[in-house]
Structure 1
Amino acid sequence: MDFAAIERRARTAEEAGFHSAWFIDHLAPPGDRGLDMLDAWTVATALAMRTERLHVGHLVLCAEFRHPAVLAKMAASLDVISGGRLELGLGWGSVARELTDYGFTDPGPAVRAGRLAETIDLLRLLWSGEPVDFDGAHWTLRDAVCRPRPVAGSVPIHIGGSGSRFTMPLVAGRADWWNCPAGATDRLAELRPSAGAARVSVQHPIGLAASSAAREEVVATVHRRFGAWGGVIAGTPDEVAEALSREREAGAELFICQFHDFGAPETVRMFAEEVLPALP
């Protein structure tokens, strides 16, 4: 998808009243390195400049790609320039081979989780605007200062995943938001207590059919494109709203939707007009 198409979808989402637009962070598309894919941070920055209210974020930025001090400066800068519209989704790298192929080290999940924990601690310290001295297992900073500060003094940090060993402790201890991935939505109520005080967002592949007659084709499309993710919700607007309402009742405050047609403007508008008003 070229930037013009991305911008058109984002502008439609803003006009329709959506909260945010979210992007991926890879050095090349994981499924086919021969395809074009724009840099995640550049896309978010460009869209923030071409919208007025829409928040921008990534699910997720790979923390291994950026030194914590650099990431803190990038995030604070975009947050200030956009008027406080950055949502910072962070992970430790979902494609281990990508790290090694592009010259990064892969010390394994436990170490990468520990590095992410320290990264988040450093972000919050640096966003204070005060000098930071830090001696961690993975990072060392001396008299480091990050200014300007984010608009609200900090940027909301989102962590996605459902693993009990590394991810959920990180969520409970350090995240503002827990993003429940599509494959774990059937365990949302079970996992919710382990997220601590973090607010809850949920990912879903959404197949939204304009009519009963179009339902079969849309259902087939969303399962073909995103069925491997799990957590597919498909059907007419009433059916989609009913499914999402159950998760609202379980504590979900935000839905990150991957639509069957990659967010074509007509689908985005239909979701806003026919699904959102039916949610509690």
Structure 2
Amino acid sequence: MTDYGHDLLFGAFITPAARPPTHAVELAVAAERAGLDLVTFQDHPYQPAFLDTWTLLSYVAARTERVRLSGNVINLPLRHPAVLARAAASLDLLSGGRFELGLGAGGFWDAIEAMGGRRLTPGQSVEALGEAIGIIRELWDTEKRGGARFDGEYYSLKGAKRGPAPAHGIGIWVGAYGPRMLRLTGRMADGWVPSLPYLSGGPANLAEMNRRIDEGAASAGRDPSAVRRLLNISGQFQPSRGSLLVGPPRQWAEELAEISLEHGVSGFILMADDAAPIELFASEVAPATRELVAAGRAR
């Protein structure tokens, strides 16, 4: 049993489809109205069927008041970290401290290269992500004097002016699966956000992946609990019980509570593009899961 001690978060993972253009926005508003804690959007700048994720996040921030927002995850190869740092801090200030920065190292390299991005090997993409996190944090640190400097293999700063500082301590959440990326997450990130459908062994894979994150944290002198564990999930609501996350809301709550108590996951983000499952997830699954996890922790 692993418990990193975080309060539970429940969110929505919404496709930023360009047609109809306001559909993703209305789903985000519905998610906030239903009581979810977080709204996220994937980021594929090379995909013309999608709205630009940064533009969408800004628009949604203006249409909502309470819900937290994040990319899930932001495409680093096509978004320079120095500009990303300013954009993230700006959105956090404008939204009243409601932004978290989900980051991804990239994966669709043909499409990235077609947009002018640099093709990287898996190892290089890990190194580039580590440099980017360092740059972002350096530019957010307005307590330091003088310009920010960074001399890396993939990115550099040559006396860049610092700021603006975010409204709150923005969490950097990394989408990671491979061993090196998981260890980097432990060393440098504030959160880990994989997708359950991409885990070939299902939730059982989380134990080994958590172990690598914990090792990375320990190597950097960090407490493993400094890294929040989130999980993108998908499933189907139906009256009768079926397989994992296929069944009634009570079954979902029991299964999510078990994942939370066994593997330390404290954030569940539903992949859905319809208001009905989002509302059911918020009204029935989230409160029941919180009750079950609280009871399990008390035992």
TM-score by length of 1: 0.85
Pick from 221, 227, 241 the counterpart of residue 253 of structure 2.
241
* TM-aligned CA deviation for residue 206 of structure 1: 2.2
How far apart are residue 113 of structure 1 and its match? 1.4
Q: Specify which of 164, 170, 176 is matched with residue 190 of structure 2.
A: 176
**Root-mean-square deviation (CA), in Å?**
1.8
What is the one-letter code of the residue matched to 2:258? R
Partner-residue secondary structure (3-state), 1:38 = coil
| 239-248 or 134-143, larger mean C-alpha shift | 134-143
Could you tell me how far apart the structure 1 residues matched to 2:53 and 2:174 are?
17
Q: Within the alignment, does 1:46 sit opposite 2:59 as a pair?
A: yes
State the identity as a percent: 32
Cα offset, 1:192, TM superposition:
1.5
Q: Which residue, 97, 100, 116 being the options, matches 1:103?
A: 116
Q: Distance in 1 between matches of 2:70 and 2:164?
A: 20
What is the match of residue 265 of structure 2? 252
How far apart, in 2, do the equivalents of 1:253 and 1:195 lie? 15
Give unmatched runs, 5+ long, in structure 2.
1-16, 215-223, 294-299
Residue by residue over 1:17-41, the C-alpha shift from the partner in whole angstroms, topping out at 9 and shown as x without a partner, is: 1111111111244xxx6xx210010
CA drift at 1:69: 1.1
2:169 is equivalent to residue 157 of structure 1: no
Deviation at 1:268, TM superposition (A): 1.7
Contact between 1:72 and 1:146, CA under 8 Å: does it hold in 2?
Answer: no
CA distance in 1, matches of 2:33, 2:27: 10
Q: Specify the code of the residue in structure 1 equivalent to 2:113.
A: T
1:87 and 1:155 in contact (8 A); partners too: yes
Shift of 1:147: 2.1
AA at the equivalent of 2:249 = P
Alignment of 1:1-280 (within 5 A): 1=17, 2-29=20-47, 36-129=49-142, 130=144, 131-152=147-168, 154-164=169-179, 166-182=180-196, 183-184=198-199, 185-196=203-214, 197=224, 198-209=227-238, 211-212=239-240, 233-250=245-262, 251-259=264-272, 262=273, 264-279=274-289, 280=293
Amino acid at match of 2:236: G
1:207, distance to aligned residue in structure 2 (A): 1.2
Unpaired segments of 5 or more residues in structure 1?
220-231
Higher relative contact order (CA 8 A, sep 6+): 2
Q: Using the alignment, how far apart are the partners of 1:94 and 1:235 within structure 2? A: 33
Secondary structure of residue in 1 paired with 2:70: strand
Give CA deviations for 1:57-113 in whole Å, capped at 9, x if unaligned: 111111111222111111111111111111111111121111122222203111121
Q: Which amino acid aligns with 2:269?
A: I
Q: Say whether the 8 Å CA contact 1:134–1:142 is kept in structure 2.
A: yes
Question: Could you tell me how far apart the structure 1 residues matched to 2:130 and 2:60 are?
Answer: 29
TM-score when normalising by structure 2: 0.79
Segments of 4+ in structure 1 off by > 3 A?
none
